[in-house]
Structure 1
Amino acid sequence: MSEPVLVALRGASFAYEDGPAVLSDLDFEVREGRALALLGRNGSGKTTLMRLLSGGLRPGSGGLAVEGQPVTYDRKGLTRLRTTVQLVVQDPDDQLFAASVAQDVSFGPLNLGLPDGEVRARVDEALAALDITALADRPTHLLSYGQRKRTAIAGAVAMRPRVLILDEPTAGLDPDGQERLLDTLGSLRRSGTTVVMATHDVDLALRWADDAALLTPSGPRTGPVAAMLSRTDLLRQAGLRLPWGIAATQLLRAQGLLEDTAPGPRSPEDLAALMAAPATRPIPADG
């Protein structure tokens, strides 16, 4: 991978008070422009890792760096970090607290001490990016679950981070809500935001991500998503199953319907398009 490293943990360890180490001597990188899926069983350290990357937790040893510069945990250092990295937690009700959508989204920019005009511009931009401009004056307690998810993400987007970390962002959404959110994340990526998504959904990870990081007992293993999610040994260690698209790819290749060098389907729609394409497969000997 030649993309520059935006955020990195180096030799980082962390343990909660009176508990065993959750992460030990961890090296982990977030590279610019790569959509990264973070996967692992419950208790594997995903939430701890995300909070370390975003400054919510401080490593007990080792350190965090942004573009090669060590993060300091004073006000100046944390402000610099939080204008680079934003974390959106799984339950939006843990993140929303203001009376209206616009007030909630404005909280972060206001805390940066920005002029009123700049705050308004950031709020308008974030609401538009999440397709919730019409909800600006809506009381947050009257929002649907999907609307609350979008509002929480808009609050992070208003900080204009270079890295947006999302904890199970599609959890609790119906299929239409998931598709709309994925479209929004695609737009954010095209505008230059690097997105990291923690998820248990291996099919979603295969479809959406460029890279996958599997949290195993021996540490995270990171690489191109299709290659990582084909590793049954690593999937077993991480408590995950083989994605549907990988199984379909293996079957197609075993039946001579897909060349070894051709990319496999990442979704049912990809499979349908592949099978509808003009046939280039060899004619059977008895045909």
Structure 2
Amino acid sequence: MQLVGAGYAYEDGPAVLAGLDFAVPRGRTMALLGRNGAGKTTLMRLLSGGLRPGSGELRLDGERVRYDRAGLTRLRTSVQLVTQDPDDQLFAASVGQDVSFGPLNLGLPEPEVRARVDEALAALDITALRDRPTHLLSYGQRKRAAIAGAVAMRPRLLILDEPTAGLDPQGQERLLAALAGLRELGTTVVMATHDVDLALRWADDAAVLVPEGVRTGPAPELLADPDLLARAGLRLPWPTAVTAVLRERGLLAPDVPGPRTPEALAAWSAANR
């Protein structure tokens, strides 16, 4: 999935993105970061086909995406976007009915639809909620149900807008475990987030939107660049700061990765007492 020279401006407004070259590495996890108004939502909607570039083009498997019915159907079976508010996407009476909506719209035979629903519910750890009315779900359950609806389409690329926002710590951990399972099944996941600590912990790669465009690369490298983070209106992740202190004091060799979670820091401390 690739945007080439892409630009977009909303009606009667300035360009949100201009001349953007952006590629999503296959089979990896990517965190999308930037200040409010930097263009994260616009970028996600361009990738998913919700918006059409005003200039440049979107490519899928090296081919330019066509915005006719056939082209958009092909795109949306490969790319799925889940918005921040699950109530924007949940509308059926029960979880199972909601998750089945996309596969049914593809005209798949009933056994295939059932298989996809079963697979998606299991991947998000909500099989027990199949018959639960959607209006009786907790916020975290609604988040996972909305993602399951996208997963049932078996996309190669899953784009999530602030999926951990509003979740308690346990809910965040359950969601991250589900996303790890999806990656193991071959799904590429892009997550927009303001949480730099989460991005460093979770993502293989990062894409940081700054006024002059977008910087992409391995998350540990990009999120250790204080100048880049300042231009993006982001703070330095605490693991990066801790790693710098440990190296300055000679407690961590330059070629040894620093801790990326509190648990990893505690384990390092215990092993180096």
How much identity, in percent, do the aligned residues show? 76
- 2:269 corresponds, among 267, 271, 275, to 275
In the TM superposition, 1:143-222 aligns within 5 A as 143-222=137-216
> Deviation at 1:278?
5.0
SS of the residue aligned with 2:2? strand
Instruction: Tell me, yes or no, if structure 1 residue 73 matches structure 2 residue 95.
Output: no
Corresponding residue number in structure 2 for 1:39: 33
Amino acid at match of 1:166: L
> Deviation at 1:240?
0.2
Corresponding residue number in structure 2 for 1:82: 76
In the TM superposition, 1:1-287 aligns within 5 A as 7-278=1-272
SS of the residue aligned with 1:31? coil
SS of the residue aligned with 2:6? strand
Measure the CA separation in 1 of the matches of 2:162 and 2:264: 24
**Aligned positions, number:** 273
Measure the CA separation in 2 of the matches of 1:83 and 1:118: 15
Amino acid at match of 1:165: I
SS of the residue aligned with 1:64? strand
Please say which of residues 265-274 and 213-222 is displaced more in the overlay: 265-274
Please say which of residues 199-208 and 267-276 is displaced more in the overlay: 267-276
Mark the runs of 5 or more structure 1 residues left unpaired by the alignment. Answer: 1-6, 280-287
Stretches of 4+ aligned residues off by more than 2 angstroms: none
> Deviation at 1:250?
0.2
> Deviation at 1:133?
0.9
Amino acid at match of 2:116: R
Amino acid at match of 1:60: G
Q: Radius of gyration: which is bigger? A: 1
TM-score (norm: length of structure 2) = 0.99
Amino acid at match of 1:72: R
Measure the CA separation in 1 of the matches of 2:200 and 2:94: 36
Measure the CA separation in 2 of the matches of 1:235 and 1:91: 27
Amino acid at match of 1:226: P
Measure the CA separation in 1 of the matches of 2:269 and 2:245: 13
Amino acid at match of 2:53: P
Q: Deviations over 1:145-195 (max 9, x none)?
A: 001000000000000001100000000000000000000000000110010
Measure the CA separation in 2 of the matches of 1:278 and 1:9: 46
Q: Deviations over 1:206-229 (max 9, x none)?
A: 000011111000000011111101
> Deviation at 1:113?
0.7
TM-score (norm: length of structure 1) = 0.94
Amino acid at match of 1:36: M
Measure the CA separation in 2 of the matches of 1:151 and 1:271: 33
